Structure 1
Amino acid sequence: MLRDKLSIKLSELLSALSLALDSANNRIFQHSRRTAYVAFNIAKNMGIDEHILSDIYYASFIHDIGMTGEMTQYSIEDIHNDKKLKKEHCQAGAEIIKYLPLNERVHDFVLYHHEEWNGKGVYGLKHDDIPIGSQIIHLADYFDLNYGSILNEDINVNNIKRFFIIAKGELFSPEAVDSFLDVMDKEKFWFDLKFYNFQQILNTIEPNKQREINIGELKKIAKAFSVLIDKKSKFTYTHSQGVAKITKDIAEYFDYDKLVVDKLEIAAYLHDLGKLVVPNEILEKPGKLSKEEFDIIKSHPYYTKIILKQVKGLEIIADWAGNHHEKLDGTGYPEKLTNNNLTREDQIIAIADIYQALTEDRPYRKGLSKEEALKIIQDIGSKNKFQQEVINGLREVI
């Protein structure tokens, strides 16, 4: 059971959610995790205060959080090579961060992470007018975008150093560059970046190890990410929030303890987290999906569960969120679970998801009325796909 004080580390949660963002189409896998690692090492070597160091670390994980919604049509290279798009994703990211339980500094670090030392960045800030965290994240971000893809090749470290020496005082803060040059001298830095289990490396450096979140903070983060998930397609603009509302109502109908209601609501907010991995051309295809396309769609609950299970303390929420396409008779996906494995909580989210989807417009049809949707769900239930009591609960709250 979740307690009001969760044994969930904020950095671990942000790292997992950043992986979901970086697994999306047109993104670079684990880019934000590597950026966090590089930024941490630069800041630590500079002797940055521990509290600011933690905020730089958190901001690094979500520095590209604004690359959602309409931005998904662009590749990460497109965005970073276009000043207008760079500014838009900084603004969008900073706006989302306002709704997260994070220090105001994190907002500023993300908003200004594309400022250049010479004042030619997207907002025109110059020198020490640029927040220290933004100076460091800008350098770390640039490094990974340009060199992260060749980490497993024979890297010429001297060539990389030469570039940053030339860019010192122009693109990047002189102090941050000097610190990074020191960091690059250590073999451990390169060994860490190449290590196959990068989350394990992050666990060894994690600053502010005592920073845990309570259930209210977790709900804020889950709700903010549900908005990002839903904005991926115009046909799912409020889907996760709708599923969360129905899930909460059904849970309260069954008179669950408040903490269980909160957990179910959080799982519902995040149930489609894995859809960030699915290309929009499949999500918004007006015609029938091919088998290969449907297989990609069927992967999304798998990714939801695998990403959330990387966070210690979220295991039960990960199961509830990831099982929302399973059925009692074993015909669901992706694990083909049966009534021996599925709980009533799993089914509550699954039923809420089906109802919400049926009543929303889709590329291939208009949304159904509540009566039509309930009839379809009743028909599905009569085939031993869901417990009748869960369907009755949905009918009562609708």
Structure 2
Amino acid sequence: MAESEIKCTSLKHSKRVAYICLQMADIMGLSDEEKFDLCSYSLLHDNGLIESFCNFTSEYKLNNVEEYFDMVNFAEHCTIGENNIKDFPFLTSQKNIILYHHENFDGSGLFGKKESEIPIFAQLISFADTLDTNFDLSNICYDKKELILNFVKENEKKLFSKKIVDAYTILSESFLFWGDLEYFDEVNPLEKILPNFTIEVPLESFLSITKIFSKIIDGKSKFTAKHSVDLEEKSLKLVEYFNLDDETKLKIQIASNLHDIGKLGTPNAILDKEGSLTNQELFEIKKHA
């Protein structure tokens, strides 16, 4: 929903990044737990983009989204995104994955990290992000497959490590891989290849997850800024006043964090509008619930 607001890439970009990463991870021998976390990081890799975009557009009146990418300090969305997910209950111990997902193997990325300084998860996300951003993966032919393979090989030890290039060289020969990408909506391949785990998530951990979404929601507009956080704080005062039990307290905090999640699908032109809304705009804003 956030991607549809900032049309910097094709829709479902993060899901395709996750799919490519998981296929690469399988070839590279990552564990099921690592694959599960890699999928989570992939889906969340641009979670700071909407806040960074809205921070910028609140200061500058832009004619189009492309101006934002030309003018903005693009590293900001990496920093915001890393901070947003710091309390996410991952299965494995990783560090600076979101922060360094725009680094290049030769050190020419946003933060100048290179080679082993870049975590392997970040390298994989950067690789998949580069492919999905630069090539239309919804329409595949033999020439395009070869074009992508040549691009990847030409950028060995520049954008990508030899380990990444070698894994992709194997993956590029898979007809299933290309078919899944071309018919992504129809076959929904991500869930099919994602390792299946059943784990107990206590309400405290689930609360940490919902805080991520509340930050994304609140960062969408100057009118929603800190709204979910403020609502959570006020609801806790009511919980204390009515002397409610700890489980109810956690559930109310979770509900407070998620109550406006539907506004991710509401255009900012409506959220940020000064003055009264038209009937059509009222109809759209009511959809968020």
TM-score, length-scaled by structure 2:
0.84
CA contact under 8 A between 2:106 and 2:158: conserved in structure 1? yes
> Are 1:65 and 2:65 counterparts?
no
In structure 1, what is the equivalent of residue 185 of structure 2? 196
* Counterpart secondary structure, 2:39: helix
Distance 1:56 1:66 in 2: 17
In structure 2, what is the equivalent of residue 48 of structure 1? 30
Distance 2:168 2:66 in 1: 23
Per-residue CA distance 1:132-154 (angstroms, 9 max, x = gap): 1111110001111122x451465
Distance 1:153 1:163 in 2: 15
In structure 2, what is the equivalent of residue 234 of structure 1? 222
> Are 1:135 and 2:116 counterparts?
no
Amino acid at match of 2:138: L
Distance 1:91 1:78 in 2: 21
Quick one: which of 80, 86, 95 aligns to 1:92?
80
Distance 2:70 2:163 in 1: 25
Quick one: which of 35, 41, 61 aligns to 2:17?
35
* Counterpart secondary structure, 1:114: coil
Distance 1:278 1:62 in 2: 20
> Residue 46 and residue 29 in structure 1: after superposition, are their counterparts in 2 closer, same or farther (change >3 A)?
same
Distance 2:229 2:151 in 1: 46
In structure 2, what is the equivalent of residue 271 of structure 1? 259
CA contact under 8 A between 1:79 and 1:85: conserved in structure 2? no
* Counterpart secondary structure, 1:237: coil
* 235-244 or 174-183, which deviates more: 235-244
Per-residue CA distance 1:108-160 (angstroms, 9 max, x = gap): 1111111111111111112222111111110001111122x451465721122
Distance 2:42 2:199 in 1: 16
> Residue 96 and residue 192 in structure 1: after superposition, are their counterparts in 2 closer, same or farther (change >3 A)?
same
Distance 1:218 1:208 in 2: 18
* Counterpart secondary structure, 2:73: helix
In structure 2, what is the equivalent of residue 316 of structure 1? none
* Counterpart secondary structure, 2:47: coil
* 205-214 or 38-47, which deviates more: 205-214
Per-residue CA distance 1:213-251 (angstroms, 9 max, x = gap): 221111112123212211222222221123334445556
Amino acid at match of 2:124: I
Unaligned runs of at least 5 residues, structure 1? 1-19, 302-398
> Residue 42 and residue 218 in structure 1: after superposition, are their counterparts in 2 closer, same or farther (change >3 A)?
same
Amino acid at match of 2:273: K
Distance 1:32 1:253 in 2: 42
Distance 1:39 1:81 in 2: 27
* Counterpart secondary structure, 2:201: strand
> Residue 195 and residue 236 in structure 1: after superposition, are their counterparts in 2 closer, same or farther (change >3 A)?
closer
> Residue 213 and residue 197 in structure 1: after superposition, are their counterparts in 2 closer, same or farther (change >3 A)?
farther
Identity between Structure 1 and Structure 2 (%): 34
In structure 2, what is the equivalent of residue 163 of structure 1? 151
> Are 1:177 and 2:165 counterparts?
yes
* Counterpart secondary structure, 1:235: coil
Per-residue CA distance 1:271-316 (angstroms, 9 max, x = gap): 1112122222221111222233223222222xxxxxxxxxxxxxxx
- Tell me which of the two structures has the higher relative contact order, counting C-alpha pairs closer than 8 angstroms and 6 or more residues apart: 2
CA RMSD of aligned residues (A): 2.8
CA contact under 8 A between 1:36 and 1:57: conserved in structure 2? yes
In structure 1, what is the equivalent of residue 138 of structure 2? 151
Distance 1:124 1:54 in 2: 28
* Counterpart secondary structure, 2:46: coil
